[in-house]
Structure 1
């Protein structure tokens, strides 16, 4: 099987135009046999032509040695074989040259033309030889034998190598096509594997981010309220001040530690470092939270959420505009989480500030806005000592954008902070 293109150049190890050394040795051997044959056949040719025998032998050697270049110039080999056919020389050259020509990548019309020329030449020469033999009395058969012998001989010397060469050439091209197709499939499989790995990595990152966002939304708000309640208890306890202060401080410390650990765990999940090591504990915590939360919060629980913040000492108002209706679960859960995280941020960063929650049911979308004023006292924003990981706004934006919505947050002119989001209804 021959090879072409870059592969041919890469594996070529033979001399000159041969792809392999064994091919060069084989063609050299054929050329030597052909040269010897033509040299032997050149003796009677020289006698019949009336030229010196040495000239006939040299002519036969030169003509027969042309078979060496059959792979590089198959047309030249066939033309030489046709040219020396009248001298009754080069039978091996004609057979091998025609086979090589038929197996090559040359156009079919060229192969057919040269094969026809060789067939006609062999037919004429055989016809003349048989006729001369019958005239000399060497053959005593009828006249029918002359055309029969000529046709049979010419077809026998032309048809088999031509058909075999066509078959070998077609099989070679088929194998090359199959090899190229296999290489193409291998490249495609490799590309698909790389894309699958990229998709898997993307899915792992998305799942890591989703787990971090869910844990932040579900846990951070409640722990934040616990810290706020503990701070209030610490401030108003009167019956046993020392014990109340110690217990309240203990609750506050536990809440702060929980939030700090949660922030560290969220950082691990988002960065991807040590995910395998933390996977077991995270999975247990998420499973427990999912069981507790059920199918997730909805907008019907928004009033209860605002009530929890009010119970913690925040002055917060809830305003609902438009006709109340139900939405897809992911839309309602996202809207709830946005309000939840915004109220949590008010507890963390603007303790004592008044907050306002607005929910608007519009045609084809739902809008929400949480706005708080400036803290009443300087430094009160951090009076509870609540740690912040900076992931709240990022998580809200990711949730809203994932549903095709718009999220905007930033400080107000009055010194407060505003969080706004619009989510398509479907």
Structure 2
């Protein structure tokens, strides 16, 4: 009978990841076990066909080409280890422990003209037509009116108002207010309303204890490299890949299925296989995936209705230094132009999205996933929607796809990813 003892199996693969202090130099410690759904790390070196004439039809000797080590990793979007990949993609985060103060203003009916809400000491008045500064247009129903409200609040230049972020709840009948500062500072942020119900006179729940909030921002001039060891314990072989940089990230949002991210990488090389690990005893973190169905896409704080699918897309535009070297490897990969292209497909329900596309007005866009004690948010600061076609290929629903273009906003911000969990740091 055949023996499986000496055959490598994907089920038993072990990947250990550590950040490098110097590009291409594998550290002697600091490795973490990472989980993947698939990977293709490793060197490949092609052959160059001969080009000599006058030697007949028989094949001549080929020669070696340069060494390449690039491909993709498919990793789970989980509550803890995903911070490792975010650091590789965007750079080290700013980490703060605690909880931001929150609250809400709930509405039982569509506001009437001259009703008011007050946030951070600034009053906003609902108007049935022609709103001006600090005024909110009343629409045909409550959801549309509150969509206008969160847009006005999120774009307000009033310092007190700008200290918080505003969104709609799942039922589209309340404005959710979250202070931007983690900790107790937001507990004094005032709320009031003339014909709605605030959760309290101020926001509440702000605390300096609790989970860790890791904020990763795109656009840094320097990005970290890593060493990733691929271990095939079945055959006692360990291969260390070094100088690994992350070029692109994509996360598809769907109704069901495993939530995974695809990371395109570019590495400098792979060391010869050895019979023992070079990663020591890696740290192991529990893997708790975010669920696909918990994902929400929002524009200017208001969830988009009728979304069929979506995708987070970040491209670092790595510029590979393909310099001439005797070992045939690259010299490095430098961060190039950052490209942000958040995408989604929605059923055609009303003219809201089409209106945004034709207005050429930049909007903020967020992709959120939440769990009981963790959260992940990608916040694109300024995005412009393209004007799409509405193709019809049958009697079913009509859908439109939007591949948006992200840009830098007035505060020089383009994208931030926030991961909330129980991990103290990603050093």
User: Under a length normalisation based on structure 2, what TM-score does the superposition of the two structures give?
Assistant: 0.19
Judging by fraction of residues, say which structure has more strand. 2
Judging by fraction of residues, say which structure has more helix. 1
Return the index of the structure with the highest Cα Rg.
1
Which of structures 1 and 2 has the larger relative contact order (alpha carbons within 8 angstroms, sep 6+)? 2
User: Under a length normalisation based on structure 1, what TM-score does the superposition of the two structures give?
Assistant: 0.19
